[in-house]
Each structure stands twice: as structure tokens, then as C-alpha cells.
Amino acid sequence: MATFVEVHPDDPQPHRVGKVVERLREGALVAFPTDSGYALGGRLDDQEIKDRIRDIRKLDDKHHYTLLCADFAQLGQLVHIDNSVFRAVKAATPGPYTFILPATKEVPRRLLHQKKKTVGVRIPSHPLSQALLEGLGDPMLISTLLLPGDDKTPTFGWDVKEALDHQVDIVIDAGEVTTEPTTVVDLSGDGAEIARRGAGDPTPFE
């Protein structure tokens, strides 16, 4: 049964965030709100986290997993960013965008797209997401909490707990959250390709 944690949406209580971070370090899979709906996430270097996310979402090998970063400096250690898109990406972060970019050697091979050697990266603006990243001190491996057959993420934490009570370790509730996932921009080829239109304005990349 998942532990249910309630935090303030704008100013998450440090002691509650700290307890979640402790569990993350121990290998917990957490369902938590971001600036683009709920996500599933855990430690980047934990193989089991990827497997559990894959099983919950019924994902195939073509799925791009996302690395959630605290800031642009951290993001820059994980992916190669061409000078031609540097400003556009920096201007769009933090925010509801996921960027698909060629990965550096800092990213475990098992997290890369098998053929392209790319990975998704994003920097969230949600206070809770930032608090978790700050406490952990490292990027997190995440995936949007879109369950098979659904086209929107859950709105409230108790919806997540009801759906995934025996499949995740912790559910965090921070009040009502948006149900629109990130806008996904593929920058791994020539130019930008909008892979998914979502919460972020795609205009700067079109």
C-alpha cells in the first residue's frame, strides 16, 4: 500500500519532502505532481525504477524516458545542446517542455533510445518537483503518469492512490494540478520537430 503524503502546493514542508527524499534514496517509486501533471519517478541509477514505470504504463522499447533536472547546468551535463538551439531551450526552462537530445556519457545506456542514443530532459517549475530535486541532489528518472487508455494525467493525489495503491511506494498530493502533459520537442536531428503538443507553447520551436 502506497504512503500518502500531503504537501503545500506553493511551499512544500521541508520535513515532509525530506522523508520522501530518504525513501527515494532507498529506491522508492514516487507519483508526484509537476507543472504538467502527475509523473512517476525515482533514482536515475536504479534499474528497477525504469522497469516498474514500464510495467505500469505498458511502454515499449521506443519510449523516451525523461530525466528531470534541477537547472540548466545539470541538464547540460546529460545532453549535448547545439549552439543553434541553446537560447531557445534555455528561454523555455524551467517550464512544461521535454526536449529530446543526444545523450552524453553521463546517462546510463539502458535509458537511451536504442537506435538514436537520445534521451528526454526537462526542468520543472513546480515547487514540489524542485524541492525533491534539491533534496536528492541528482536528476530523477521520470515518465508522465499516463495510464494505458487514458489521454490525461490524474488531477489529484487521491486519484493516483486509488489507481496505483499497490504499484507505487509513495503518492504525493499538492492540491489540484494540471492534466496537460509537456510539449515534447525533438532536437536530435536537423531543426526542431514537435513530437507532442502539450502545456508548453510550441511556437518558439516551429
Q: Is 127 left (phi over 0), alpha (psi -120 to 50) or beta?
A: alpha
Phi-psi category of 12—alpha, beta or left, where left has phi over 0 and alpha has psi -120 to 50?
Answer: beta
Amino acid in the structure at residue 144: T
Fold classified for 3-205: DHBP synthase (3.90.870)
Residue 67 has pLDDT above 90, yes or no: yes
pLDDT given at position 3 = 97
How sure is the predictor about 190, in pLDDT bands with cuts at 50, 70 and 90? confident
Q: Mean pLDDT in the chain?
A: 92
pTM of the model: 0.93
